[in-house]
Amino acid sequence: MDWILAMKVIAPPQPLPLITARTSREVRLARRALDIELLGLIAASIVILFGIGLVYAAKVGRLEEAAAPAAVLSLDTLTSPSQLEPLLTMVDSPVERQTVALALYRRATTAPALDHVGALAEVTMPAATVRGDRRLEQLRARLDRRPEAREVPVLSRADVVSLKPRLAVRSVASSTAGSRWPSPHSSAPSGSRTCFAAGADGRTIRSCCRPSCCCAVSA
């Protein structure tokens, strides 16, 4: 009987590759690249969130402006130049803003009374005063454009236009009081005569015939 001898060769397990200095350096570079990418993503997210915040703040600001319009300041109710300073946003320097506010206040509280806001464009300061104060940079620049001028306007035409929505020459109360008509039994002003005419509805209209008189009342 023949015997067959069979042998099975078992290969030894392959040893794990050794981590060389080159492999370790590549791992560190890969980690560094991942860290940089992560930091970039974080920075981009912060920028995007900041932009969203700015847009939201701008929209809220517009809504607040639409909901609460700026109050109108009446020039005939001024008690201090400081009331005008918040409106003079076109003047950069605080000192110059106070100077301009004082000049406007003196004109607004001095006779003859202003009849329209546009008259503020005629408020001026002596050129010598402007030239002698180096803090009045914007007024000095205005004077440099017209060095021969003796008076310097404290506001430009564009400045007055921007102020018109925020200013009025008189308050509602004073306007109402000034436009109140006399009663039917009141006497006409001295030096005038009273005229009578029939109105379209048959009622008698009494008016003052002096040209400067503006009263007309129904009897």
3-state class of 126 per DSSP? strand
Quick one: tokens of 1?
């009987």
**Residue 104 to residue 117: CA distance in whole angstroms:** 11
pLDDT digits over 134-160, tens only?
999 999 999 999 999 999 999 999 999
pLDDT value at residue 217: 36
pLDDT value at residue 135: 94
State pTM to two decimals.
0.50
Question: Where is pLDDT greater, at 24 or 93?
Answer: 93
Question: Where is pLDDT greater, at 208 or 42?
Answer: 42
pLDDT digits over 12-70, tens only?
666 555 555 556 777 777 778 788 888 888 888 898 988 888 888 877 766 555 544 55
Residue 155's CB is within 10 A of a number of other CB atoms, namely: 22
Of 146, 148, 140, the residue nearest 96 (C-alpha) = 140
Sketch the domain layout of the chain as residue ranges: 24-68, 74-174, 184-218
Residue pointed to by tokens 């970039």: 40
pLDDT digits over 120-132, tens only?
999 999 999 999 9
When mean pLDDT is compared over 21-35, 70-84, 185-199, the highest value belongs to: 70-84
Do residues 124 and 102 touch, judged by C-beta distance below 8 A? no
pLDDT at 8 over 70: no
Query: Which whole number is the average pLDDT over 73-102?
Result: 93
**Residue 217 to residue 74: CA distance in whole angstroms:** 29
Question: Where is pLDDT greater, at 54 or 133?
Answer: 133
